[in-house]
Amino acid sequence: MILISVWTLLPIIFIALGTFTPRLELYQWPKPIIPSHFTLESFINFAQAYGVMDALKNSILAAITTVVLSISIGAPAGYALARFKFKGKDTFRIGVLVTRMFPIAVLSIPLASLYLYIGLYDTVLGVAFIHTVFAYPFSILISMSIFASIPKDFEEAAMVLGCNRLQAFWYVVLPLAAPGLAATAIFSFVISWNEVFAASILTLYNRTLPAFIVSRLEAPTLDFLLASGFFMILPAIIFIYIVRKQLLRMWGIAVK
Amino acid sequence: MVEVKLENVSKSFGKVKAVNKVNMLVKHGEFLVLLGPSGCGKTTTLRCIAGLEQVDEGRIFIGDEDVTNLPPAKRGVSMVFQSYAVFPHMTVFDNIAFGLKLRKVPADHIKKKVKEAAELLRIGDLLDRYPHQLSGGQRQRVAVARAITVEPKVLLMDEPLSNVDALLRLQMRAELKLLQRKLGATTIYVTHDQVEAMSIGDRIAVMKDGKIIQCDKPMEIYENPADVFVGGFIGTPPMNFIDAVVCKANGKIGVKIDEFFLEAPQFFAKELEKREGKEILVGIRPENVEVENKPVKNALEAKNLIAEMLGSNKIITVQIGEKIAKFVVPPDFEIEPDEKVWLKIEKEKVRFMDKSTGKAILPAG
């Protein structure tokens, strides 16, 4: 447990420390682990660098669109897979995974030309679409297991008490599934936020943050590197932190 | 008047006929128990009445209305589930109020009704709690309270007591019965526990393989089981069935068990005479026999295998010819394994079953 914590936390701490270290101190040798004084210099430099803010906006937009799309497509599909029997159910489940079989590198060229043709190339929406394609198999499979874990009795009890199917879902199933769906949302968000390759290929000027940073890595400075790294980690941490409270609170009540 | 009527109701799951042409009439205000072993279709029948399953064939009426194709919400029924299905994300109050809120009942009225129901089930002080803070028995009460606040025409219960411990079950059994009397709601109750069925039901419908085999008052089912299955299912221990041959002795009709001649009650005479010389099953309730540990006249000889002390009485397992049978004796009855006993059978209480069909031979007239 401690080992895992150290393993994941140490780089984050170093990046964070590096980000807030004065620029000159970064190049000293031996480099002090704790900065002599706390500064936002690198951070502000990075934030003010040309295009960063636009890329950030694009990234957030793409991530949110991905979350909305993958949940709104994935959750109903997951619900259907969990509750109903229908022909081709298993085929569909495998089919969902098959979409993840093709490496994006193979798909990227035809996809780029398709995007050019229909006018999605170099748009945030286009990136969000491809990110949704990445995220939705997970959102389907995760939400399926969430819905499957909610006993059918709850829904049926609600229906006998006067709900139609939709109301039973809205008043009973959804509140119980909410923590799990929130986790799915986080997952989709992080998938979109971290995705570099497709975003790099499908955009030119309207880049998302990772794609933007990658394009700038040809001649990076150390401070730029650290600041961008920290910037990339930050939203994911904040987002997970916010939803985590929600998760624990709701699970405390909801689970069994 | 709320009667529930099932006409030729069938329901299959794939190739399995869970409910097979069931006909049933539950009278207004009646407490009817659907009893049967697991997999006999009793729960499916209940779910068909609730509207949670679509029937394949037949019609279901509640009151005068044909509800066969109505969704559960429109049937005026409510149901208590085996798992309670108390919503975990709502307080006890919200759980009980759920049905009323859906019906857009004014808030102050809801408050009053929830309180009433909670008082009735003695959970009035738990209204602010969440289900995970309650014991199983309390959750059970919430489920029942939730079901009765909507004032259903028909109250359905699916093994509501199977998940509470034995002592509590005994207590809840009487409480549910009392509650049903108070409310006067037509109630259909599913259970696999024959003691529960006997104690709680106005009438019992015994099911097997998707069919209702016998539907009658508990005592009638106990004394006159329709077949070997019903006799062997109801009673602790259940009815004994012993092989015998119909024959006459001294001009009287009766049956021969090994060498012992048991005279048949007068009301069976006519039916038995038709079967003279044929093999038959004799059904004897464990308590309808006087057991002696020394030879007496007109008694069937048997070998004791084991005696079980139960406190208020003793159950002995004996061997009669090839067959094993159980009888109830007073707790102070002294008996050792492998000792002989003599059974004085109360002949008026003896029942006869056809050996090939297992069906009861009904007294003439």
Residue with the larger pLDDT of the pair A31 and A15: A15
At A143, which helix (H) or strand (E)? helix A124-149
Give tens-digit pLDDT for B78-130: 999 999 999 999 999 999 999 999 999 999 999 999 999 999 888 999 999 99
pLDDT band (50, 70, 90) for residue A254 = very low
Question: What pLDDT score was predicted for residue B317?
Answer: 94
Q: How confident is the model at residue B1 (pLDDT cuts 50, 70, 90)?
A: confident
Say yes or no to pLDDT of B197 above 60.
yes
Q: Tell me which of A252 and A21 has the higher pLDDT.
A: A21
Query: B87: which chain A residues are within 8 Å (Cβ-Cβ)?
Result: 154, 157-158, 172, 176
CB-based contact, B135 to chain A, within 8 Å? no
**What average pLDDT does the structure give for chain B?**
91
- Give residue-wise pLDDT tens across range B249-294: 888 889 998 888 998 888 888 888 888 889 999 999 999 999 998 8
Q: What is the pLDDT of residue A220?
A: 61
More confident residue, A28 or B201: B201
Asked whether the predicted pLDDT for residue A255 surpasses 50, the reply is no
In the numeric block, which tokens belong to residue A171?
């008043």
Q: How far is B130 from chain A (nearest CA, A)?
A: 8
The model's pLDDT over A38-86, given as tens digits with 9 standing for 90+, comes to 667 666 777 677 777 788 888 888 889 999 999 998 899 989 988 888 8
Predicted local distance difference test score (pLDDT) of residue A253:
46
Q: Set out the domains of chain B in order of their start, with CATH numbers.
A: 4-227 (3.40.50.300), 240-354 (2.40.50.140)
Q: Which two tokens stand for residue A208?
A: 């998302």
Q: B71 touching A, CB under 8 A? A: yes
Closest CA–CA distance from residue A179 to any residue of chain B (Å): 12
CA distance B47 to chain A (A): 10
Which pLDDT tens digit goes with each residue over B290-321?
999 889 888 999 999 999 999 999 999 999 98
Strand partners, B10: B57
Work out the end-to-end distance of chain A between its first and last CA atoms, rounded to an integer number of angstroms: 26
Nearest residue to B113 via CA among B92, B97, B125: B97
Q: What is the C-alpha separation between B363 and B268, in angstroms, rounded?
A: 5
By the CB < 8 Å criterion, does B294 face chain A? Answer: no
* Confidence band for A186, pLDDT divided at 50, 70 and 90: confident
Q: Which secondary structure element, helix H or strand E, spans residue B26, and what is its range?
A: strand B16-26
Quote ipTM for the complex.
Answer: 0.82
What pLDDT was estimated at residue A25?
66
CB contact under 8 A, B89 and A253: yes
Query: What does residue A25 show for φ and ψ, rounded to 5 degrees?
Result: -60, -30
Whether residue A176 lies within 8 A of chain B, CB to CB, comes out as yes
Question: Which pLDDT score, from 0 to 100, does residue A218 have?
Answer: 63
pLDDT confidence of residue A256: 34
Closest approach of chain A CAs to the CA of B41, in angstroms? 18
Helix A222-254 and helix A41-48, axial crossing angle in degrees, nearest 10: 90
B18 compared with A202, residue with greater pLDDT: B18
- B47 pLDDT higher than 70: yes
**CB-nearest partner of A162 from B50, B87, B102:** B102
Residue A197 is predicted with a pLDDT of 79
By percentage, how much of chain A surpasses pLDDT 70?
80
Inspect the interface and report whether the beta carbons of B73 and A159 lie closer than 8 Å: yes
- For A137-170, write each residue's pLDDT tens digit: 888 888 888 898 888 999 999 999 989 989 999 9
Neighbours of A61 (CB within 10 A): 17
Is any Cβ of chain B less than 8 angstroms from the Cβ of A220? no
Q: Name every chain A residue with its beta carbon within 8 A of the beta carbon of B156.
A: 160
User: Hey, what's the torsion of the CAs at B176, B182, B188, B189, to 10 degrees?
Assistant: 10
Angle at A78 between CA A256 and CA B14, to 5 degrees: 90
**A173 contact B CB<8A:** no
